[in-house]
Amino acid sequence: MKRPLIAGAVCLATTTALLLTGAAPQAASDDLCDNLTELRLDSLALGDLSSDSSKDDVKESYDDVQDDWEDVRDDLGEVNSNARDAVQKAADDLRNTYADLPDDASVREIVSTLRPEARQLGQELRDAASDVRC
């Protein structure tokens, strides 16, 4: 007789938690996984730009990464601290490298300078996604 009462109490507690949070606990991880994937794809696209791209193409691709980063940054609490720190460092390195580009840099120079940073961010994002079982 105690088992049905305990099971009922667990169900009630779970239902109450879902009602209070407004979403199932897995929902945040699903959002994070989607956002990590989008950021990873955009960072890889930035790293794969060719020297035939225009400066506008580079800026648009970089802006896509930054927009995706805004979506991911606040949700990184779900990722273990080592992976979170690695993603943060890679994102900061990309941002700093982009900010330090000379105004008169050629597209070839820009692409070759950003490529390793963008690819590193993509790798760290893949590792973080694996950490949260995406």
Residue 123 belongs to what domain range?
26-131
Q: How many domains does the chain fold into?
A: 1
- pLDDT given at position 7: 39
- The answer to whether residue 15 is domain-embedded is no
Q: Are 131 and 87 in contact (CB under 8 A)?
A: no
- The answer to whether residue 124 is domain-embedded is yes
The pTM of this model reads: 0.72
d(CA 127, CA 27): 20
- The answer to whether residue 6 is domain-embedded is no
Q: Fill in the DSSP letter of residue 48.
A: T
What's the average pLDDT block by block, 10 residues per block, for the chain (134 residues)? Answer: 42 36 52 91 95 94 95 80 90 96 95 96 91 82
- The answer to whether residue 7 is domain-embedded is no
Distance of CA 27 to CAs 39, 44, 78, Å? 18, 26, 12
In degrees rounded to 5, what are phi and psi of residue 103?
Answer: -60, -30
- pLDDT given at position 13: 38
Q: Fill in the DSSP letter of residue 133.
A: T
Neighbours of 117 (CB within 10 A): 21
- The answer to whether residue 90 is domain-embedded is yes
- The answer to whether residue 4 is domain-embedded is no
Q: What token pair was written down for 103?
A: 């105004």
